[in-house]
A and B are shown apart, each in its own frame.
With several copies, the nearest count.
Chain A
Amino acid sequence: MSESTLCTMNEAVDRFVQDGATIAIEGFTAFICFAAAHEIIRQKKKDLTLCRLTPDLIYDQMIAAGTAKKLVFSYLGNPGVGSLHCIRRAVEKDIPGALEIEEYSHFGMVGRYIAGASNLPFFPLRSYFGSDIIRANDNIQFIESPYGDDQVAVVPPLNPDVAFIHAQRADIQGNAHIWGLIGVQKEAAFASRKVIVVVEEIVEESVIRHDPNRTLIPGLIVDAVVHEPFGAHPSYVQGYYDRDNPFYLDWDRISRDHDLTEKWLNEWVLDVPDRAAYIEKLGSERFDNLKPGEMLAGPVDYGLYS
């Protein structure tokens, strides 16, 4: 780990994502690593189990591309826009193939990652009372408190084979600073057997060391670091770029039709060699428009104690 684990996305996916693997690409509305998803599609990985609270466009695309056999999730939506039509098509009509689903609520998914990350056999939460979710998913159980008349739901650990975590910056060992909506990235990373950190910027170790409370993912658990600027487009990275909302609206139209979806996947994923080519194809003006103004955090002094 004190060695560089830098590699390309092509190498990372080739090396760590096996057919049939369980994958988590997390990030709540933000930090969604489409760069990883597109490379997985390009490498024609199959029979994946895809885990994510909000499958979002990223899994809509992966499922339309036929990479997945199963989806573990808690909310299917194109945020602020509407439905995820590809996933609906898979669930409602087996197009492009049957898709097994395993459904929780958000808190249940969070609990599964926490249990997975901390080697607990279950995680307790107050949810699911009276809900049909427990009828659809018998992984959810209830247990009694040993301290009196109180019952809580429990969910089992989730330990993906591989997690992709998108971050603003990391050193070459994968020690990663993340700020903004931190979501479940930490829990998903610690829960996963292999962790790939994908960043907007590679920085000197000293940048990380000067703000150790900001290190959400320690290099200790990181297997590969991929430098992939704009790797979360069309989602956003706090302070680096905004969500490309026109794309989310376009996708609503494209994804309603499977042929149109396939055409889009061909043009923007399969016929594009890598992320850099995708960014170039989109054009730099598109990204100019997504650049936010500056809002810097104030000074924080850790102190030199020598």
Chain B
Amino acid sequence: MNETMNYSPAEMMIVSASRALRGSRVVFVGVGLPNIACNLARKSHSPTLELVYESGIFGANPARLPLSIGDPTLVSDSMSAVSMADLFMLYLQGGLVNVALLGGAQIDRFGNLNSTIIGPYERPKVRLPGSGGACEIAINAQKVLIIMRLKKRAFVEKLDFLTSPGHLEGGDTRENLGIPGEGPELVITDRALFTFSKSTKEMTLSELAPGESVESIKAEVSWPIHISPDVKEMDPPGEEELRIIREELDPDGMYR
């Protein structure tokens, strides 16, 4: 919990992600912050938003807060539970997913993500989880929202490993490879929001959390970050949004 504010950095990210989901119909979702953000969107501005879980669940109606994307509470009372083949082929590659939420250990200026290793591949300093479905999600979802805490060691000049393609080397490098989805649209952090330039596809600082400055953000990005000419302050979480998170979605505060 931020002492000078009545919400935590995690709550700021959840609310920002929820708001970015406005207008989407089908979201591909993992548990944790993304799960709470999607459910907040459903309970506020987007009651018809549909959630698809990587474990093969569509239309979940969990009776408790799920512990993982494979939690049995996501299966019971869901609309459809399908094989992973169907999930990846029909739902994801089939183009039904409008938006996906992804994260990673490292991100570069074009929104490419590393969730594989820190250090050299053959003898890593830290072995991270790897792709899971992230690589194909980044490729096939119509658009991608990235959620990460803003830290200099995560916002890097060069990834140790490119697990999931964002805008690759920028410009039309992504499009030229014939990648179906449009790639990252927004990077949501606890301290700022970043969009991507329409032409160069480079990350651009566009909104600041209350209390942050352009300089404080620059200090946490390893490359000279582009600044939008009209950087504005992020709208802090509203009372109703906070109430839904705290009373309905995460009453035990597991994700705050």
Contacts and interface: CB of A to CB of B under 8 A. Distances in A.
Interface string A158-202: 000000000000000001000111111011001000000000000
Interface string B147-169: 00000000000010111110010
Contacts of B26: 220
Interface in A26-84: 28-30, 53-54, 73-77, 79-80, 83
Contacts of B159: 132
B90 A190 contact: yes
A105 interface: yes
A305 to B, nearest CB: 4
Contacts of B85: 110, 114, 184, 187
A81 B71 CA distance: 13
A70 B222 CA distance: 36
Interface in A261-306: 292, 295, 302-306
B130 A127 contact: no
Contact of B79 (A73, A150, A215, A245): A215
A156 interface: no
Contacts, number: 246
A153 B79 CA distance: 31
A1 interface: yes
A114 B180 CA distance: 18
B54 to A, nearest CB: 7
- A88, A106, A136: which has the most chain B beta carbons within 10 Å? A106
B211 interface: no
- Identify which of B62, B79, B92 gathers the most chain A CB atoms within 10 Å of its CB: B79
B116 interface: yes
A122 to B, nearest CB: 14
Contacts of A149: 178
B79 A243 contact: no
A104 B88 CA distance: 14
A181 B125 contact: no
B69 A119 contact: no
Task: Point out which of A91, A118, A131, A182 has the most chain B C-beta atoms below 10 A from its C-beta.
Answer: A131
A303 B81 CA distance: 14
Contact of A209 (B48, B67, B78, B88): B78
Contact of A218 (B72, B80, B83): B80
Interface stretch (B131-139, B202-210, B231-239, B241-249): B131-139
A104 to B, nearest CB: 7
Nearest to B31: A80
B135 A105 contact: yes
B162 A2 contact: no
A84 to B, nearest CB: 8
B251 interface: no
Given A29-B68, A150-B178, A181 B56 contact: yes
Given A29-B68, A107-B133, A131-B131, 16 more contacts: A28-B55, A73-B130, A75-B129, A88-B127, A92-B126, A105-B136, A106-B132, A117-B90, A125-B93, A126-B136, A151-B178, A182-B83, A213-B82, A236-B72, A292-B72, A306-B63
Interface of A: 1-3, 28-30, 53-54, 73-77, 79-80, 83, 87-88, 91-92, 103-107, 110, 114, 117-120, 125-133, 135-136, 149-151, 175, 179-184, 186-187, 190, 205, 208-210, 212-213, 215, 218-221, 236, 238, 242-243, 245, 292, 295, 302-306
Interface of B: 25-26, 31, 47-48, 50, 54-59, 61-64, 67-73, 75-86, 88-90, 92-96, 112, 116, 121, 123-136, 139-140, 159, 161-165, 168, 173-174, 177-180
